[in-house]
C-alpha cells in the first residue's frame, strides 16, 4: 500500500511508467505468467524455466551438496504421429530434390532446379518451425506464407509434369512432397491452437504486440497534437480548427447519453485503457487469450462509439481530429478478425477430441463446410497422383485444369480456416466463394470426353458441395449495395488469380520442352484457365445484377501535386472514410 494525500492506494492504482510496462510485457511473454508483480507466480515461473538451477537450489535447501547432480534416468525418445510424418515428408522431399538435381534428363535446367530446391527447403523449414508457435501472430503469418509458397511450387511442378513428354514423374513426386509439408504446416498450427485451449471466446491478435505498442504511441501522440493545436493560437491555415472541434465534441458529449466518453480525451486515462489491452495481448497463455476475448470487444465497442459520436457532426472537418481518430481506428483494427483460427483444431485433430477438449458450443456450419472442403482437397490430391503422368495432349490440358482446382481448394481452406462469421457469410467466406464459381465452370471442362477425369472431378465436386453454393453468399436480404460489394470481392479475387496464372505460364514455359510450350500458353490464356475465370466473373456479376467491372490495375497511383489530391478529396462528397469495425461481426 502507498499513501498519497492521505489516501491508501495499491501499485495497480497508479499510472505505471512505460518502461515498467515494457519489462512486465517481456516477463509475461517469456515466462508465460499473468501477473509479473506476483512474487510467488514469478518465482515458480523462474524455477520452471531454469529447472537445472532449481534442482541445485532445492538440494542446497535440504542441506545436501548442491555441486553433486543426481544421476539422470535414461529417457526414451517418443515420436508422435505428426513428428513421424514430418520426418518422413522431409526425407521424401530431399530424395526428390536430389533425384531432379542428378537426373540427366533435367541437366539443361539444372540451375533453375537448384534455385527451386533452395526456395522449397527454406519454405519447408520456416513453415514447420513457425507453425508450432501459431499463437504468435508474426509466426502464424510466416507459417501461412511458407504454406502458400509450397503450394505455388506444387502447382508449377504439376504443370511441368503435364508438359514434360511422359517423363514428369519426378515433378509429380515433388508436387506431392510440397503438398504434404504444406498440409502439415496447417495441422501443426491447429495443434498449437488446440494445445493452448483456444475456443471461440479466445481472441488471437493478428498483429504482434510490438506493432500494437507503436500504434498505441501514435494514438497518444495524435491526442497530444489535438490538445496542443487547440491550445495554440496559430495554425498553418490561420483557422482554429482544433479549438472549434474540441468545443463541438465536448458539447455533443455533454448533451447526449455519451458523457462517459469524455474520459477518452484524457491522455492518462486513455493510456491506461490501451496499456491494459496490451498487457493482455502480451500474456499469450490460454487463460490470457480468453481474458482478452472477454474484455477486448467491450473496449473496442467503446472506442468505436467514441469515433462515431465525435466525427458525426463535426463541421468543418478538422485535420487534428481526423489524425487522432484514424490512429485510434488503426489500433482497434489489431483486434478485428482476432477470433480467426478457432476452426483450425478441427483440421488437426479428430472432431471428437476437439469438441470435448477445445471448442465450446460445438462446431458451426462454416467449420463443417471446412472439413468437407478439406476432404474434397484430399480426394483431388489422390486422383491427380494417379492422373499426373498421362502423356496425351488432351490429358495434359485436363491435368493443368485439375491442378488449378487443387490450388483453389487450398486457398479456400486457408480462407475458411481464419474466417470468423458463425453464419459463413464473412468476407473470408465470400472471397472463398470465388473459387466455388471457378470450380463450377472448371468441372465440365475437366470431365468432357474422359471417363477417368469425369470420375475424378465428380468425386471432388460431391464433397465440395458447400463451395458450389457460392451464389447464396451474394444474397444480402435485398441490400443492393452490400450485394454489389460482395460481388466485387469475388470478382477482384479472380482478377488476382488471373495475374498469378499468367506469371505461372511464363515460368513453366521456360523449363519445359519447346514443342510443348504452346500448350501451356494456350491452356493458361485462351482455351482453359483464362476462359474459365472470365466465365466465373460473368456469372458472379450476373447473379448480383451489376455491370462487370474491369480488373483493378496493379501499381501505386501518386497525384501530380498536392493540389490534385486536395481537389480529388473535395470533389468526393463523402470524403475519405474508414469503416468502423463492428465487434458484433466477430463474436
Q: Is the pLDDT of residue 200 over 70?
A: no
Determine the pLDDT at residue 562: 59
Determine the pLDDT at residue 229: 72
190 and 231 both lie in a single domain: no
Question: Over the stretch 370-410, which tens digit does the pLDDT of each residue have?
Answer: 999 999 999 998 888 777 655 566 777 888 889 999 999 99
Question: Over the stretch 130-184, which tens digit does the pLDDT of each residue have?
Answer: 998 887 778 888 999 999 999 999 998 888 887 775 556 888 899 999 999 999 9
Determine the pLDDT at residue 89: 92
> Would residue 12 count as lying in a domain?
no
Determine the pLDDT at residue 288: 62
287 and 332 both lie in a single domain: yes
Determine the pLDDT at residue 586: 42
Backbone φ/ψ region at 438: left (φ over 0), alpha (ψ -120 to 50), beta? alpha
Identify the weakest region by mean pLDDT among 52-61, 87-96, 176-185, 437-446.
52-61
> Would residue 216 count as lying in a domain?
no
Winning range, highest mean pLDDT, from 353-362, 387-396, 428-437, 442-451: 428-437
Tell me the torsion sign for CA atoms 35, 260, 583, 579: negative
CA 23 from centre of chain = 29
242 and 303 both lie in a single domain: yes
464 and 323 both lie in a single domain: no
Q: Report the greatest alpha carbon distance in the chain.
A: 91
Higher pLDDT, 411 or 305: 411
Higher pLDDT, 549 or 203: 549
Higher pLDDT, 359 or 402: 402
Determine the pLDDT at residue 537: 93
Listed as own residue / partner, the contacts of 238-243 with beta carbons closer than 8 Å and 24 or more positions apart are 241/316, 241/318, 241/319, 241/320, 242/318, 242/320, 242/321
For 64, residues 6+ apart whose C-beta sits below 8 A from its C-beta are: none
Residue 124: band (very low, low, confident or very high) from pLDDT cuts 50, 70, 90:
very high
Winning range, highest mean pLDDT, from 4-18, 34-48, 389-403, 424-438: 424-438
Instruction: Give the structural domain span for 59.
Output: 17-67
Determine the pLDDT at residue 587: 41
Give how many domains the chain has, as a whole number: 4
Strand residues in 417-555 grouped as ranges (E): none
Residue 293: band (very low, low, confident or very high) from pLDDT cuts 50, 70, 90:
low
Winning range, highest mean pLDDT, from 91-95, 158-162, 233-237, 575-579: 91-95
133 and 104 both lie in a single domain: yes
Angle, helices 18-31/39-49, rounded to nearest 10 degrees: 50
Mean pLDDT for the chain?
77
> Would residue 76 count as lying in a domain?
no
Listed as own residue / partner, the contacts of 256-263 with beta carbons closer than 8 Å and 24 or more positions apart are 256/309, 258/305, 258/306, 258/309, 261/302, 261/305, 261/306, 261/309, 261/310
Identify the weakest region by mean pLDDT among 397-406, 437-446, 563-572.
563-572
Kindly tell me the burial class for residue 549, based on how many C-beta atoms sit within 10 Å of its own C-beta (0-12, 13-18, 19 or more). middle
Tell me the torsion sign for CA atoms 483, 484, 487, 492: negative
Higher pLDDT, 167 or 436: 436
> Would residue 209 count as lying in a domain?
no
Mean pLDDT of 223-227: 85
The grid coordinates listed for 136 are 504468435
Identify the weakest region by mean pLDDT among 220-229, 291-300, 564-573.
564-573
CA distance 139 to 29: 14
Determine the pLDDT at residue 524: 61
Mean pLDDT of 249-260: 76
Determine the pLDDT at residue 311: 76
430 and 526 both lie in a single domain: yes
181 and 299 both lie in a single domain: no
> Would residue 480 count as lying in a domain?
yes
CA distance 539 to 491: 10
Q: Is the pLDDT of residue 274 over 90?
A: no
Mean pLDDT of 4-11: 47
Determine the pLDDT at residue 557: 67
> Would residue 3 count as lying in a domain?
no
246 and 189 both lie in a single domain: no
Winning range, highest mean pLDDT, from 53-62, 101-110, 380-389, 404-413: 404-413
Mean pLDDT of 31-53: 75
**C-alpha distances in angstroms, 337 versus 32, 186, 207?**
24, 18, 11
Mean pLDDT of 103-122: 86
Higher pLDDT, 542 or 419: 542
182 and 300 both lie in a single domain: no
547 and 487 both lie in a single domain: yes
Determine the pLDDT at residue 484: 92
Mean pLDDT of 323-334: 87
94 and 192 both lie in a single domain: yes
> Would residue 72 count as lying in a domain?
no
Residue 523: band (very low, low, confident or very high) from pLDDT cuts 50, 70, 90:
low
549 and 564 both lie in a single domain: no
> Would residue 226 count as lying in a domain?
yes
Amino acid at each position: 500500500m502507498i499513501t498519497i494525500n492521505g489516501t491508501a492506494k495499491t501499485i495497480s492504482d497508479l499510472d505505471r511508467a512505460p518502461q515498467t510496462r515494457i519489462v512486465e510485457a517481456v516477463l509475461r511473454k517469456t515466462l508465460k505468467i499473468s501477473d509479473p508483480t506476483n512474487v510467488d507466480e514469478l518465482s515458480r515461473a523462474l524455477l520452471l524455466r531454469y529447472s537445472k538451477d532449481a534442482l541445485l537450489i532445492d538440494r542446497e535447501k535440504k542441506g545436501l551438496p548442491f555441486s553433486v547432480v543426481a544421476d539422470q534416468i535414461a529417457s526414451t525418445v517418443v515420436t508422435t504421429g505428426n513428428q513421424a510424418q514430418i520426418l518422413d515428408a522431409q526425407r521424401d522431399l530431399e530424395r526428390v530434390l536430389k533425384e531432379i538435381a542428378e537426373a540427366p534428363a533435367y541437366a539443361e535446367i539444372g540451375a533453375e532446379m537448384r534455385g527451386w530446391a533452395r526456395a522449397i527447403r527454406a519454405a519447408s523449414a520456416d513453415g514447420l518451425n513457425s507453425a508450432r508457435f501459431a499463437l504468435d501472430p508474426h509466426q502464424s503469418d510466416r507459417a501461412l506464407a511458407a504454406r502458400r509458397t509450397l503450394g505455388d511450387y506444387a502447382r508449377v511442378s504439376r504443370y511441368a509434369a503435364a508438359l514434360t513428354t511422359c517423363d514428369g514423374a519426378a515433378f509429380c513426386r515433388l508436387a506431392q512432397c510440397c503438398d504434404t509439408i504444406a498440409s502439415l504446416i496447417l495441422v501443426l498450427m491447429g495443434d498449437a491452437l488446440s494445445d493452448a485451449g483456444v475456443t471461440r471466446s479466445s481472441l488471437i491478435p493478428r498483429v504482434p504486440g510490438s506493432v500494437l505498442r507503436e500504434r498505441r504511441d501514435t494514438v497518444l501522440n495524435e491526442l497530444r497534437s489535438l490538445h496542443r493545436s487547440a491550445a495554440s493560437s496559430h495554425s498553418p491555415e490561420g483557422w482554429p480548427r482544433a479549438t472549434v472541434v474540441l468545443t463541438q465534441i465536448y458539447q455533443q458529449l455533454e448533451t447526449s447519453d455519451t458523457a462517459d466518453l469524455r474520459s477518452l480525451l484524457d491522455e492518462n486515462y486513455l493510456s491506461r485503457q490501451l496499456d491494459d489491452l496490451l498487457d493482455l495481448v502480451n500474456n499469450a497463455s490460454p487463460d490470457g487469450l480468453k481474458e482478452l476475448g472477454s474484455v477486448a470487444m467491450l473496449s473496442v465497442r467503446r472506442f468505436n462509439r467514441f469515433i462515431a459520436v465525435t466525427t458525426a457532426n463535426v463541421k468543418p472537418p478538422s485535420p487534428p481530429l481526423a489524425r487522432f481518430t484514424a490512429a485510434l481506428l488503426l489500433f482497434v483494427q489489431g483486434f478485428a478478425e482476432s477470433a480467426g483460427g478457432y476452426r483450425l483444431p478441427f483440421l488437426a485433430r479428430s472432431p471428437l477430441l476437439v469438441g470435448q477438449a477445445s471448442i465450446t458450443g460445438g462446431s458451426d456450419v462454416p467449420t463443417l463446410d471446412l472439413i468437407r472442403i478439406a476432404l474434397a482437397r484430399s480426394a483431388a490430391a489422390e486422383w491427380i497422383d494417379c492422373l499426373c503422368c498421362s502423356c496425351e495432349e488432351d490429358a495434359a490440358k485436363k491435368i493443368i485444369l485439375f491442378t488449378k482446382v487443387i490450388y483453389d481448394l487450398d486457398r479456400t481452406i486457408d480462407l475458411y480456416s481464419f474466417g470468423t462469421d458463425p453464419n459463413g457469410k464473412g468476407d473470408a467466406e465470400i472471397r472463398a466463394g470465388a473459387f466455388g464459381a471457378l470450380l463450377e465452370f472448371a468441372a465440365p471442362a475437366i470431365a468432357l470426353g474422359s471417363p477417368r477425369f469425369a470420375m475424378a472431378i465428380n468425386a471432388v465436386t460431391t464433397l465440395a458441395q458447400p463451395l458450389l453454393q457460392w451464389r447464396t453468399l451474394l444474397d444480402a436480404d435485398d441490400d443492393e449495395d452490400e450485394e454489389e460489394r460482395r460481388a466485387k470481392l469475388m470478382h477482384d479475387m479472380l482478377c488476382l488469380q488471373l495475374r498469378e496464372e499468367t506469371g505461372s505460364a511464363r515460368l513453366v514455359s521456360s523449363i519445359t520442352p519447346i514443342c510443348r510450350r504452346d500448350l501451356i500458353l494456350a491452356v493458361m490464356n485462351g482455351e482453359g484457365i483464362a476462359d474459365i475465370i472470365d466465365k466465373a466473373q460473368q456469372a458472379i456479376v450476373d447473379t448480383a445484377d451489376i455491370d462487370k467491372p474491369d480488373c483493378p490495375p496493379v501499381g501505386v497511383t501518386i497525384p501530380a501535386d498536392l493540389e490534385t489530391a486536395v481537389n480529388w478529396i473535395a470533389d468526393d462528397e463523402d470524403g475519405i472514410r474508414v469503416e468502423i469495425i463492428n465487434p458484433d461481426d466477430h463474436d
